[in-house]
Amino acid sequence: MTILDGRKLSQKIREDVKKDVEKLKNEKGLVPGLAVLLVGDDPASHTYVNMKSKACKEVGVYSIIHEMPSSISEEEVLSIIEKINHNEFIDGILVQLPLPDHVDTTKVIDAIDVNKDVDGFHPYNVGQLVTNKEGYVPCTPLGVMNLLAEYNIDVKGMNAVVVGASDIVGKPMASLLLNAGATVDICHIHTRDLKEHTLKADIVLVGVGKPDLITADIVKDDVIIVDIGTTKVGDKIVGDVNYEGVSKKATFITPVPGGVGPMTIATLLENTVKACKKNRG
């Protein structure tokens, strides 16, 4: 069994991004810029945003956090996005989700300039992904594909099961796998018999936030496991996979933490630099 070490690969990517940023600065006088919108006081959101800000600083990407109270109106949020869209020094815009209930997430995402949509959530970029064309791809699924590639795992011809059908992870993950030649099943809360699907899978990718959802008895021998879920249980962060049991049957498996999580931030940095080159380079 081989552990898919996202922490190790993400560090390698960050070092490459740092060199890229230095080259842009020295040769073209450009500094990639990322703007993050953080609405409300959700502790997890603040933690994620701080991690992203710290990562930007480490590689030389300029970042600014627009912190707003949960009482802010939808119109005000849209107005801020419009201003950032026209800020020539900002290459990427990231809206930290979830937003308060009175703010329409779809409207907010739709308002982002598609050329600054480094999260890959805008309908235009979703369409580009589904049709296998150039665009910005959501950071977590793209990070997963990069992690698989690092370990020379080619999903072409594999039976892949994606557990979770969110717009942020499940659906784009399925599209990337399909584009890479896998045969893809998507399972979700209404799936009647999860085991029927996972037992046939060569690779299982799960991200629903339900600890111990994937157990050893519902996967076959030599399966590849990608655990995208994160849940805080006591003082620990755990995934959706029963690691102790499933790891005994798997050929490859991601740990939680240290697997997919670090790849998400590393991919965000890559997307931001890509946007700088595309928009200003």
Active site residues: 52, 96, 119
Q: How far is CA 212 from CA 58, 88, 102, 183, 231, in A?
A: 35, 46, 33, 25, 11
Residue 59 corresponds to which tokens in the numbers above? 């590689």
Q: Are 277 and 24 in contact (CB under 8 A)?
A: yes
Residue 231 corresponds to which tokens in the numbers above? 């849940």
CA distance 268 to 119: 7
Residue 275 corresponds to which tokens in the numbers above? 């946007």
DSSP code for 214: B
Between the two ends of the chain, the Cα-to-Cα distance in Å is 43
Amino acid letter for position 6: G
Edge-to-edge, what's the strand order for the sheet holding 62-68?
62-68, 33-39, 92-95
**DSSP helix/strand/coil, 125:** helix
Inter-helix orientation angle 260-280/43-59, to 10°: 60
Q: How far is CA 95 from CA 34, 35, 39, in A?
A: 11, 8, 9
